[in-house]
A and B are shown apart, each in its own frame.
Chain A
Amino acid sequence: MKKSVNQLIFVVGVLVLWEGLALLKLWPPYVFPTPQGVAESLWAGFADHSIWIGIGVSMRRVALGYAISVILGVLLGMLLMSSRFLEDTLGGLVLSLQSLPSICWLPIAVLWFGLTETAIIFVTITGSLLAVTQATKAGFDNVPRILSMAGRNLGAKGPQLFWHVLLPASLPYLVDGLKQGWAFAWRSLITGEMLFVTLGLGQLLMMGRDLNDINQVVAVMILIAALGYIVDGILFRRLETSLRDRWGLATAASN
Chain B
Amino acid sequence: MTNYVLDLISRSIAGGRVLPEHEEPSERVKPNKDAPADVSMLHAPPASRKESIALSGVFRSYANSRGSFTPALQNIDLEIEQGEFVCIVGPSGCGKSTLLHLLAGLDRPTTGEITVDGSPVRGPGTDRILLFQELGLFPWLTVRQNVEFGLKMAGVSRNERRDRARVFLRMVHLSHFEDHCIHQLSGGMKQRVALARSLALRPKILLMDEPFAALDAQTRDMLHDELERIWKETSPTIVFVTHNVREAVRLGDRVLLMSFRPGRIKSQFQVTLPRPRHVEDSDVAYLSKEILGQLREEIDRSFNAEYSREEKR
Residues of A within 8 A of B (CB): 78-79, 81-84, 140-141, 143-166, 168-169, 171, 245-248
Contact = CB atoms under 8 A, between A and B. Distances in A.
B152 A164 contact: yes
Contact of B106 (A152, A156, A159, A161): A152
Nearest to B29: A155
Contacts of A141: 13
B16 A145 contact: yes
Contact of A158 (B10, B136, B137): B10
A251 to B, nearest CB: 12
Contact of A163 (B6, B16, B149): B6
A146 B132 contact: yes
Given A78-B5, A151-B14, 8 more contacts: A146-B132, A152-B124, A154-B153, A154-B197, A156-B149, A158-B11, A162-B9, A165-B14
Interface string B98-114: 00000010100000000
Given A146-B134, A153-B124, A154-B126, A166 B13 contact: yes
Given A82-B5, A163-B6, A153 B12 contact: no
A84 B17 contact: yes
Contacts of A171: 140
22 contacts: A81-B13, A82-B5, A83-B12, A84-B17, A140-B9, A145-B16, A147-B138, A148-B10, A148-B13, A149-B14, A150-B135, A150-B138, A151-B149, A153-B104, A153-B136, A155-B126, A155-B150, A159-B7, A163-B6, A245-B181, A246-B139, A248-B183
A2 to B, nearest CB: 26
Given A82-B12, A149-B136, A166-B10, A154 B182 contact: no
Contacts of A146: 132, 134-136
Nearest to A75: B5
B130 interface: yes
Contacts of A157: 7, 10, 21, 124
Of B13, B124, B149, B182, chain A has the most CB atoms within 10 Å of the CB of B13
Given A155-B29, A168-B138, A247-B140, A150 B153 contact: no
B185 to A, nearest CB: 10
Given A147-B138, A154-B150, A81 B126 contact: no
B28 interface: yes
Contacts of A79: 5
Interface string B115-140: 00000000011100110101111111
Interface string B131-170: 0101111111000000001101110000000000000000
Contacts of B16: 145
B41 interface: no
A59 B182 CA distance: 39
Given A78-B9, A82-B12, A161-B10, A153 B140 contact: no
B201 interface: yes
Contacts of A169: 138, 140
B48 interface: no
Contacts of A158: 3, 6-7, 10-11
A148 B14 contact: yes
A153 B105 CA distance: 8
Contact of A154 (B21, B129, B134, B181): B129
A148 B10 CA distance: 9
Nearest to A150: B136
Contacts of A160: 153
A149 B10 contact: no
Contacts of B138: 147, 150-151, 165, 168-169
Given A78-B5, A168-B140, A153 B10 contact: no
Contacts of B17: 84
Contacts of A161: 10, 14
A236 B123 CA distance: 40
B273 interface: no
B214 interface: no
Contacts of B125: 155
A248 B181 contact: yes
B150 A149 contact: no
Contacts of B154: 155
B8 interface: yes
Interface in B1-54: 2-3, 5-14, 16-17, 21, 28-29
A163 B150 CA distance: 14
Nearest to A79: B5
B12 A84 contact: yes
Nearest to A248: B183
Contacts of A78: 5-6, 9
Contacts of B130: 153
Contacts of A163: 6
